[in-house]
Every structure is written in structure tokens, then in C-alpha cells.
Structure 1
Amino acid sequence: MKRGTKKNLFKGRQFTAEIILWAVHWYLQFPISYRDLECMLADRGVQVDHTTLFRWVQAYAPEIEKRIRPHLRMTNSSWRVDETYIRVEGKWVYLYRAVDAAGQSIDFLLSCRRHAAAARRFFRKALGQPHTVNPRTITVDKNAAYPTAARNMKRAGELWRFAKLRQVKFLNNIVEQDHRRIKRLVRPELGFKSFATASRTIAGYEAMAMIRKEQVVCAPAGDMGAQRDFIAALFGTAA
């Protein structure tokens, strides 16, 4: 990482990188609102407005998710894919998510539509991550869009031609249970105000989930200090 990265990312901020990353980590880790976090920080002598906390999360949550990817353990080749619903601008949109057979997070995609094109975009995004492999099996629900997307991708050489698509709903309990974490984190804010806001925030939620699932070797799930130090190291800052 270049020495100038830290200055560029935190330039102009009233607070230190340590405090900013500390606050962002807390918000993404626990089901709290920005106003709750404002009170928690005030209790620790840090006076910062909830609107500033919102801007911090929007700026650094997707950056954490991007920087964590190269440090993740490789997922296995059995994918469990499903969609859940997130409220954005007062409307329900689709959140595509995937985990492997061991419950490790693979990727996510927010989409206004639930069709073959969206499924294909999600598969492409997931396949492009450094911690994923071309799946041997992809377990999905009965949504007719998935077979269409898989056929088109195999025809285009984007998906392994021997990959098996299984439309068996009960086998997707792993990813359906994993959706509950996202729902719990979203609930305090009563939905998102924009599509971009939702996507950036969820990127941070997913990054914290990967840490909790011990997908990062140097950040054990139960060691908050190690997690804090790991996030600080991603940005070249001293925790």
C-alpha cells in the first residue's frame, strides 16, 4: 500500500482515522441507528453528529469491503444462492446473496428487478471475487430466472459447463438463515433513503460478516481487538 493512501482517504476529516474506523466498525457490526451510535460515542467523550457518522459509513464501508476481499479464505465450490428483500426509498428491492456449503459469505448484489439478467449480473460479480472458485453446484429456489442465467453463462463460457444447478429450496436453509443478520442490522434505520446508500452500507455489513465467520485468518471471530487492528491495517493506520 502506498504511503499516501492514508492521507488521501482521511484528508479533511475533523477526527482521526482511528476514531472514524472505530465508529464505522461499530455501526456495521451491531444493529444500532446513527443516533444510537452518536450517544455511544458521546458517552466515551467523542462528540460527533449522527449525520457525520452517516457520511463516514458511506465513505468507508465499501472501502473496507473492497480491501478485505484479498485477505479472505477461499470458499468451496458448493454455492447456496437466494434473494431477500430490502426497503429502499419506501419500495422493496431484491438483495441477491450467496454463501458456500460451510456458510462462508461469497457475495451480494442489490437489484431493482428479479429476472435472469439480474441473476447473471450476480453470478458474474461473485465469480470475479478473489476468494471464490467456479462452482461445482449452485443451489437455488424455484425462481425460473436462475436456469436461464446459468444456461446463458455456460453458453458464453462464463460458467463451468459441468456446473450443476439444483432447484431445491430446503437445501438453501443456510443462506436463508444468513439473511436474518442483514434484516436485523437494517431494522434500526427503518430502510434506506437511496439505492446507492443501501449498496454501500450492505457492503460494510457483508465485510463484518466475513470477519465474524472467521474468513480472515488474522481476525478471529471472538477477538474484537484483533478485528480492530486488522481493519486499521487495511488502511495503513495505527489502531
Structure 2
Amino acid sequence: MCDDAVVSSIYKGFRFPREVISHCVWLYHRFPLSLREIELLMAERGIEVTYETIRTWCTRFGPEYARSLRRRTPHPGDKWHLDEVFVNIGGVRKYLWRAVDQHGNVLDILIQSRRDGKAATRFFRTLLKKQGRRPRVLVTDKLASYQVAHRQTMSTTEHRQNKYLNNRCENSHQPSRQRERAMKGFRTVGSAQRFLSSFSRISPHFRPPRHRMTATAHRTELATRFQVWDQVTEQTLAA
């Protein structure tokens, strides 16, 4: 099957060109904008599209783009930082578990109802299954649940527990918090898991560590990342 056939099958049934679709998905995942705000931005450009249509695009193509970005992500580091924060979903408190490597790359997220040893063990096993290997070092805060999960799943891995060593993972929660506020919370666990799984891959792609780079290096890095985004959304195949 040729590339053109593959592209047409992905966007088949959608009236708007993929340049418009991918741009709306990018806006929604990169900036704390509501669907109605994106509808307004597109209207300013002369593109009449409803916020419900944009919602459909984000639901359909967000996970697809995220999977493509994941395949292009360099091999994760061997030092994993884990942390959990509470999120209100439908008025009920849940816990968002997150793992990042020493470079700040998100390894995985998982929403659960508890943060006990059983929940921590489940997250560890899900993480190990997706990564296919164990880390050299595991960094967490002093929550006792992490000790339980460490003993049951990766007891041979060095485990460092110190709240001051885990800022990298705690900082990774901030963009998700911004989106949560912009969306005025999540309605269901399933929708929150699906969105945050895509968001945690797409949003960091456009957030290079600017404080560690010169202005020239930052512009070059952003240009490279936009080229990758064009490949992920298959705009380059349309030329």
C-alpha cells in the first residue's frame, strides 16, 4: 500500500484538511484553551468549525499523534522519578500517578482511586510492562506505598526516598494542572485517562528545557520538533 493510501485512510470521512485538524489538536494540547476558544481562533482565520467537531478531532487524533510521538522518542533514561497527585473527577477524589525519567520525559501515567500499596504495585507493573526493562535508580517521596511496590516488583533496583529529590516529577504535573483548570475538571476516569495519556506526550514535545538553552539553540530545537510534528500528523506526505 502506498503512503498516499495510508494518509487518506487515516483522515477518511473528515471534511476538513489534515492541516486544520492537526492545528486544532496542537492548540488544544499545547495551550490551556477551551474548545470554544479554539473555535473562535479558527473563526478569526475564516474557518467555520464548531467546538464539538474540534472535540471529535482531539478524541480521534490525539491518541494517534501521541503514539507516533512515543515511537520517535529516544530511549528513556535509567533513572525514574515517580509521584502522585490528587485530581477531582466528577466530584470524586482520584489519584494521578506519573513516572518520568531523569530528562523529564514522561514514561507513563495512571489514574486510580487509591494510593495504597496495591495501587502503587499496579502502577509499577504497568510501567515495567510498557518500558520492558527495570530502571537503575527509582526516586520517590516517602509515601509508604512505594516501599510495598518496590519490594514486590523491583526489589533489586536502588530506591531513593526523599521529597527533595523528586522535583522533576512534581514539576511534570504542572501542565496537567493547567489543563485541568481550563477544562474545569474531568467528568469520568476514562475520559481523563485518555486525554492525559495523549496530553502527557504531545504537550512536553513542544516544551524543550528553555532555561538550559541559548535563544538560538531553543529556536533550532523548536524547528526540529515542529518538523517531527509534521511527520507525525503526516502533513509532509501530502506534498
TM-score (norm. length: structure 2): 0.84
The AA in structure 2 aligned to 1:146 is Y
Matched residue pairs, number?
A: 228
Distance in 2, matches of 1:89 and 1:220, equals 42
Partner of 2:216: none
Change (3 A) 1:80 1:229: same
2:62 equivalent to 1:61: yes
2:11 equivalent to 1:17: no
Partner of 1:151: 151
Distance in 2, matches of 1:148 and 1:36, equals 45
Distance in 2, matches of 1:188 and 1:237, equals 34
The AA in structure 2 aligned to 1:180 is Q
* CA apart distance, 1:2: 6.9
Partner of 1:109: 110
Distance in 1, matches of 2:190 and 2:10, equals 19
* CA apart distance, 1:10: 2.1
Gaps of 5+ in 1: 154-158
Partner of 1:84: 85
Sequence identity (%): 30
2:169 equivalent to 1:180: no
Distance in 2, matches of 1:220 and 1:193, equals 39
Change (3 A) 1:20 1:134: same
Deviates more, 1:33-42 or 1:48-57: 48-57
Contact 1:61/1:200 (8 A) holds in 2: no
TM-score (norm. length: structure 1): 0.84
Other structure's SS at 1:170 match? coil
2:206 equivalent to 1:212: yes
Other structure's SS at 2:165 match? helix
The AA in structure 2 aligned to 1:93 is K
Distance in 1, matches of 2:2 and 2:194, equals 24
Distance in 1, matches of 2:237 and 2:126, equals 29
Partner of 1:135: 135
Aligned pairs for 1:13-52 within 5 A: 13-52=14-53
Partner of 2:214: none
Contact 2:83/2:169 (8 A) holds in 1: yes
* CA apart distance, 1:150: 1.8
Contact 1:211/1:221 (8 A) holds in 2: no
Contact 1:6/1:236 (8 A) holds in 2: no
Aligned pairs for 1:164-179 within 5 A: 164-179=158-173
Partner of 2:197: 203
Task: Please list the CA deviations of residues 97-139 of structure 1 after superposition, one character each: whole Å capped at 9, or x if unmatched.
Answer: 1112222222111212222232223223322345x74211111
The AA in structure 2 aligned to 1:150 is H
* CA apart distance, 1:212: 2.8
Contact 2:69/2:202 (8 A) holds in 1: no
* Cα-Cα RMSD: 2.6
Task: Please list the CA deviations of residues 178-220 of structure 1 after superposition, one character each: whole Å capped at 9, or x if unmatched.
Answer: 21111112211101122221112112211123413559xxx96
Distance in 2, matches of 1:207 and 1:181, equals 11
Change (3 A) 1:58 1:2: farther
Change (3 A) 1:175 1:151: same
Contact 2:68/2:232 (8 A) holds in 1: no
- Greater share of residues in helix: 2
2:126 equivalent to 1:125: yes
Contact 2:30/2:206 (8 A) holds in 1: no
Change (3 A) 1:2 1:236: farther
